[in-house]
Amino acid sequence: MKIIYQHLPSVEIAGRKLVGNVLFGLLVLLSAAVGTAIGLLLVYSTDLPQVEELERYRPSSVTELYDGQGRVIGTFALQRRVIASYDDYPQVLRNALISIEDKDFYRHSGINISRIVGAAYRDIESGGRVQGASTLTMQLARNLFLSPDRSFYRKVQEALLAIQIERRFTKPQIFTLYANQIFLGHGAYGFEAASEFYFSKPARQLKLEEAALLAGLPKAPQYYSPINHPERALKRRNLVLNAMLEDGKITAVQAADAKSKPILLDLQKDPNSLAPHYVEEIRRYLEAKYGSDQVHEGGLRVYTSLDMNLQKSARQALLDGLAAYERRHGWHGKLLNVIAQGQKLDKYEDPDWDAEPEIDGYMHALVTQTSPSAAEIRIGQHTAALSQADVAWTKLKLPEILHPGDIVYIKVLSLDAGGKSRVILEQDSGTEGALVAIDNTTGEIKAMVGGRDFNLSKFNRATQALRQVGSSFKPYVYTAVIDQGGSPDDTILDAPVTFQTASGPYSPHNYDAKFEGTITLRRALAQSRNIPALKLADRVGIKTVIEYAHRFGITSNIPAYLPVALGSAEITPLEQTAAFSVFPNDGVRVAPRYITKVTDYEGRILEEDFSDIKDVVSSRTARVMTSMLREVVLHGTAVAAAKMPYPLAGKTGTTNDFTDAWFVGFSPALTCGVWIGYDEKKSLGEKETGSRAALPIWMQFMTVALAGKDPGEFQPVPDQGNTAVAQKKVDTQDVAPGDGETH
């Protein structure tokens, strides 16, 4: 048998060996790649957060304060965010966001391979870092769990988290989480908060062009800000509209119509600006009880006693009253000039300009240029001109008082859409004031103004300022007398008297330096006569008078000196106002309160405040005192209020040297107290009494507060016989009187 060997060509053998080697090498590389990938996945997933946390996740949200009608009057937040559901976001917004950010959102499983490959190619080509290609789910993962850097390591983690999120949550749930979380500029987080901030309306009411504007913000909220960069925002909005057109979400006609519209913003007013001192009181209380984190991140719902309409009226009345006072005392000048401080006119920004000007509002403005006949001023984005007629009350020529760079205080009379506004010159010489209004029956604080300008001073003069109350203290003297059997028709001698004291004789006098002889207690209180008040206080004992004041809710330490009867005691406007509400409330004191209820984010009640009620004096005493205080309005020191068509009562108060002016008065339903003065012990000026400085403010507020409502009637005074009031001289401490209205 013959065996024949057939030899393969050497080239073919070599080729087969090469293929084998290549295949082996590829297998090795593939194994290495798979091993590396597995290793990288293990490494990158080691520190990944647990996606299960999302099931319990609740983003930081705004704590909102509501007035008695459910209107927002304030917020506390580290991030302005309003949590909304999937259905709260309209289809037009969903379409806009998905078209520009993630076209395949409803089809992919967390990552978009084609976008990743394309983005990687562009990064390699440009030599840049890994960027772009993020789906909404990946963006959500980054915002919730990861740092904002753009490293390859973070991108892998982002993709892994996105896949886990997609496995555990539905698309609507993912969209809602994203829409509530994303930052959209100017402190707004989430599309609901952004819609309210930029357009002052909920997201469900967004128009196409508005939805497209918001959808364009996630890419770069600061860069595309419609406030700071409207031209960029417009281009970005139109890009979103183009993307929606390409995706068939809108028609060409709809796209063209939306593109033709300018950006029209309706920026949300800061709710805290309505009652800033009131809101600050609540913040301090809540933080002390629940902690700062819960207050600023927990989304509490705080139901307050405030009435937004009454608060607006209170603020307007106080500012108008201060303006009237300033005009009575002429132009002081001494304006701050920004040029003198080395600032440029076009760079100056005033804190008042953080909020949009309001008609009849008071704020600061910058003088940009002057001429003999006019001064041009700037108020944020608005401009206006002051003419000689607008400064006529100063009795000076315009060029004498205003210069470029001056910061002036003005009142806005009208606002023009083109930027031009109508204003008049006012003055802020440092006078301050406070106003408090309380519901007699419930004790609810309906309005509170703690000062002229919260931006300039956070000090709440309604609750923190201890001021001498002047003759508004006298009702406690008369209450003690009436409660011990006295009658308003009893008589007392208004004549010169000297009280012997350890320091020597003390001879008080009345404000008008006159004496009326024998008068009734009713007239003595109505005309605020000093000597009868001192005699009565001496008769019942000054300690007894002070004890009555404390019964009414006055907590201040009051020294037991006879002149305290004339108002040298220092009391806050809130306490004095709450105390006076006892009279129309039939002798019952209802403690003032700010909050009616607090709930947590889930709606569970954390606290519910009920009125703290206490009997102070008999109903007879309260009704008699109400009738006597009614006489103050009808024929006494507050007679200016007699023209008001409501049953009203109250008491004026003025201190030595006219440093404090008061009026505290009430209707059957509402008690209001007004104080005017300087923060330092400084005179308001000659004859700036409570009836002149404070009463007009009270009247302006009460006119609005009672308009269109049933004012009610005071309870009738029970029948009683006259009781003579003994009169005698007694020793007193030699202390100067505290009342300037009738001293």
**pLDDT at residue 80, rounded to an integer:** 84
* Residue 78: other Cβ atoms inside 10 A: 15
Torsion angle in degrees (nearest 10) through CA of 100, 104, 105, 107: 170
Whether 720 has a pLDDT exceeding 60, the answer reads no
Whether residues 185 and 304 share a domain: the answer is no
Which range has the worst mean pLDDT, 28-37, 101-110, 231-240, 595-604?
A: 28-37
Mean pLDDT of the chain: 87
CA 563 to chain centre: 40
**pLDDT at residue 453, rounded to an integer:** 93
Whether residues 125 and 259 share a domain: the answer is yes
> Encoding tokens for residue 13?
């053998």
DSSP 7: P
Across the strands, what pairs with 671?
Answer: 438, 666
CATH of the domain at 215: 1.10.3810.10
Domain boundary among 431, 452, 467: 431
Burial label for 414, CB within 10 Å (0-12, 13-18, 19+), is exposed
Whether residues 86 and 5 share a domain: the answer is no
* Residue 520: other Cβ atoms inside 10 A: 19
At 553-593, the pLDDT tens digits run 999 999 998 889 999 999 999 999 999 999 999 999 999 99
Whether residues 132 and 249 share a domain: the answer is yes
More confident residue, 720 or 372: 372
Work out the pLDDT band at 55, boundaries 50, 70, 90: low
Whether 608 has a pLDDT exceeding 70, the answer reads yes
Cα angle for residues 647, 652, 653 (degrees, 5° grid): 160
Whether residues 127 and 247 share a domain: the answer is yes
How much of the chain is in helix, strand and coil states, percent to nearest 5? 40, 15, 40
**pLDDT at residue 49, rounded to an integer:** 54
Whether 60 has a pLDDT exceeding 80, the answer reads no
Q: How does strand 80-81 pair with strand 188-189?
A: parallel
Spatial separation of the C-alpha atoms in residues 193 and 136, rounded to whole Å: 19
Whether 432 has a pLDDT exceeding 60, the answer reads yes
**pLDDT at residue 168, rounded to an integer:** 86
Residue 730's identity, in one-letter code, is V
**pLDDT at residue 117, rounded to an integer:** 53
User: Of 549, 589, 543, 584, nearest to 562 (Cα)?
Assistant: 543
Across the strands, what pairs with 598?
Answer: 302, 607
DSSP 718: P
User: Of 717, 694, 711, nearest to 320 (Cα)?
Assistant: 694
**pLDDT at residue 20, rounded to an integer:** 61
At 186-232, the pLDDT tens digits run 989 999 999 999 999 999 999 999 999 999 999 999 999 998 899 99
Task: Confirm whether 212 is domain-assigned.
Answer: yes
Whether residues 89 and 185 share a domain: the answer is yes
Share of the chain above pLDDT 70, in %: 84
Domain boundary among 416, 431, 446: 431
Spatial separation of the C-alpha atoms in residues 191 and 203, rounded to whole Å: 7
Domain boundary among 221, 237, 271: 271
Work out the pLDDT band at 122, boundaries 50, 70, 90: low
Q: How does strand 407-415 pair with strand 362-370?
A: antiparallel
CATH of the domain at 293: 2.40.50.140
Whether residues 344 and 220 share a domain: the answer is no
Spatial separation of the C-alpha atoms in residues 205 and 210, rounded to whole Å: 10
What distance separates the 2 farthest-apart alpha carbons in the chain?
A: 165
**pLDDT at residue 354, rounded to an integer:** 81
Spatial separation of the C-alpha atoms in residues 77 and 82, rounded to whole Å: 10
Task: Confirm whether 60 is domain-assigned.
Answer: no
**pLDDT at residue 738, rounded to an integer:** 37
**pLDDT at residue 740, rounded to an integer:** 43
Element of type H or E holding 301:
strand 301-304
Tell me how many domains the chain contains.
3
Task: Confirm whether 314 is domain-assigned.
Answer: yes
Predicted TM-score (pTM) of the model is: 0.82
Task: Confirm whether 23 is domain-assigned.
Answer: yes
Sorted by sequence, the CB contacts under 8 Å of residue 345 that are 6+ apart come out as 338, 339, 366, 368, 378, 404, 405
Cα angle for residues 213, 216, 222 (degrees, 5° grid): 100
Whether 150 has a pLDDT exceeding 60, the answer reads no
* H helices, E strands: number in the chain: 21, 25
Residue 353's identity, in one-letter code, is W
Task: Confirm whether 407 is domain-assigned.
Answer: yes
* Residue 463: other Cβ atoms inside 10 A: 21
Whether 3 has a pLDDT exceeding 80, the answer reads no
> Encoding tokens for residue 386?
């002051």
Spatial separation of the C-alpha atoms in residues 181 and 143, rounded to whole Å: 8
* Residue 106: other Cβ atoms inside 10 A: 10
Whether 47 has a pLDDT exceeding 60, the answer reads no
Task: Confirm whether 709 is domain-assigned.
Answer: no
Work out the pLDDT band at 727, boundaries 50, 70, 90: very low
Whether residues 264 and 298 share a domain: the answer is no
Task: Confirm whether 367 is domain-assigned.
Answer: yes
**CA 392 → CA 194, 409, 415, distances in Å?**
45, 15, 22
Whether residues 126 and 14 share a domain: the answer is no
Residue 92's identity, in one-letter code, is V
CA 84 to chain centre: 23
Work out the pLDDT band at 42, boundaries 50, 70, 90: very low
> Encoding tokens for residue 51?
């996606």
At 276-289, the pLDDT tens digits run 999 999 999 999 99
* Residue 708: other Cβ atoms inside 10 A: 5
Whether 46 has a pLDDT exceeding 50, the answer reads no
Task: Confirm whether 38 is domain-assigned.
Answer: yes
Spatial separation of the C-alpha atoms in residues 600 and 248, rounded to whole Å: 43
Whether residues 152 and 260 share a domain: the answer is yes
The sign of the CA dihedral 618, 620, 624, 630 is positive
Residue 691's identity, in one-letter code, is S
List the catalytic residues: 101, 471
**pLDDT at residue 153, rounded to an integer:** 55
Whether residues 168 and 124 share a domain: the answer is yes
> Encoding tokens for residue 473?
């203290």
> Encoding tokens for residue 330?
């002429």
At 506-554, the pLDDT tens digits run 789 888 889 999 999 999 999 999 999 999 999 999 999 999 999 999 9
Whether 6 has a pLDDT exceeding 60, the answer reads no
Q: Which domain holds residue 132?
A: 79-271
Answer for the pair 492, 535: CB distance below 8 angstroms, yes or no.
Answer: yes
Spatial separation of the C-alpha atoms in residues 413 and 365, rounded to whole Å: 14
Work out the pLDDT band at 56, boundaries 50, 70, 90: low
**pLDDT at residue 1, rounded to an integer:** 45
Answer for the pair 666, 650: CB distance below 8 angstroms, yes or no.
Answer: yes
Whether 149 has a pLDDT exceeding 70, the answer reads no
Sorted by sequence, the CB contacts under 8 Å of residue 235 that are 6+ apart come out as none
Spatial separation of the C-alpha atoms in residues 601 and 364, rounded to whole Å: 39
Burial label for 124, CB within 10 Å (0-12, 13-18, 19+), is exposed
Whether residues 347 and 406 share a domain: the answer is yes
Backbone angles phi, psi at 265, to 5 degrees: -95, 150
**pLDDT at residue 50, rounded to an integer:** 60
Residue 348's identity, in one-letter code, is Y
Answer for the pair 300, 485: CB distance below 8 angstroms, yes or no.
Answer: no
Spatial separation of the C-alpha atoms in residues 324 and 696, rounded to whole Å: 10
